[in-house]
């Protein structure tokens, strides 16, 4: 067994120990929804950030066949749609673009929720996690879609951080919404931070360039900084370039290793973060 394989096993054991001892919370992003099962034959796929960017460009009358469209920022485009057509139009584009009810939770969703998470936070608008929670039977999750739900919600909870289909708005996606989020959704930011004080945090379905990932890491760093003692793991199938690693490590100490996860049952990368 190589030193890398030993490190991998150590990380798996560390995460598993925290899960089963009740000291691990999870945060779920868009990539995890890609595991959903279509209810019927459909051409509508669950979109990623670039796919949403194309939808926004179409609404703005921009040329989506231009090679430069690959470099357009979906967050800025969403803001332009909201400014020109209103937030309701932006919300409807998201509802129309994300075929939530055309898909159903997979066994991966259900097995994931059977793990002993203290809480499951998600930036996804879709309802796959809450629908999966209704089918598992072995444990009950309280659903939180608004900050006032936190008062009476009993752990474990599924906390919808950025809105929820069909009508829990705003769906957080514009640059201005991200900028204002720590004030407009202070209770959610505080809840995630408190979870991280008490537990490790394991992120699924995010890439290293995902705006949700970057903003949440930034908010945690700004508020906890050196007070953070528990670890954050990013489970990702995406490669991370050396340039991006250098960008991250300006503010975050990071260890990148390859890990075979029994949770995802495939070769994945784990980024283990701690704040200096």
Could you report the per-residue pLDDT of 171-184, keeping only the tens digit for each? 999 999 999 999 99
Give the integer Cα–Cα distance in Å for 100 and 46: 8
Closest listed residue to residue 44, CA positions, set 90, 86, 101, 129:
101
Closest listed residue to residue 79, CA positions, set 172, 141, 160, 10:
172
Give the integer Cα–Cα distance in Å for 197 and 189: 12
- The H or E element that residue 182 is part of is helix 175-184
Query: What percentage of the chain reaches a pLDDT higher than 70?
Result: 78
Lowest mean pLDDT among 12-16, 81-85, 182-186: 12-16
Higher pLDDT, 275 or 51: 51
Structural contact between residues 23 and 118, judged by C-beta atoms closer than 8 angstroms:
yes
pLDDT in tens, 141-174: 999 999 999 999 999 999 999 999 999 999 999 9
Closest listed residue to residue 136, CA positions, set 159, 103, 114:
114
Closest listed residue to residue 15, CA positions, set 23, 5, 7:
23
């Amino acid at each position: 067994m190589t030193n890398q394989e030993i490190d991998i096993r150590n990380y798996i054991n560390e995460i598993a120990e925290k899960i089963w001892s009740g000291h691990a919370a999870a945060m779920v992003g868009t990539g995890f929804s890609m595991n959903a099962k279509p209810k019927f034959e459909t051409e509508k796929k669950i979109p990623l950030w670039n796919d949403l960017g194309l939808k926004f460009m179409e609404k703005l009358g921009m040329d989506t066949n231009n090679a430069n469209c690959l470099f357009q920022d979906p967050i800025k485009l969403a803001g332009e749609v909201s400014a020109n057509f209103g937030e309701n139009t932006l919300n409807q584009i998201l509802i129309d673009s994300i075929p939530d009810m055309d898909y159903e939770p997979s066994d991966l969703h259900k097995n994931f929720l059977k793990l002993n998470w203290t809480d499951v936070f998600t930036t996804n608008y879709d309802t796959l996690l809450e629908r999966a929670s209704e089918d598992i039977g072995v444990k009950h999750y309280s659903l939180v879609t608004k900050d006032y739900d936190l008062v009476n919600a009993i752990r474990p909870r599924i906390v919808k951080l950025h809105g929820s289909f069909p009508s829990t708005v705003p769906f957080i996606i514009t640059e201005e919404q991200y900028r204002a989020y720590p004030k407009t959704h202070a209770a959610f930011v505080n809840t995630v931070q408190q979870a991280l004080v008490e537990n490790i945090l394991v992120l699924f379905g995010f890439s290293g360039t995902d705006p949700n990932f970057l903003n949440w890491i930034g908010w945690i760093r700004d508020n906890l900084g050196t007070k953070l003692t528990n670890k954050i793991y990013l489970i990702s199938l995406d490669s991370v370039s050396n340039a991006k690693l250098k960008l991250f490590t300006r503010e975050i100490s990071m260890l990148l290793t390859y890990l075979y996860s029994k949770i995802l049952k495939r070769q994945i990368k784990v980024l283990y973060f701690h704040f200096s």
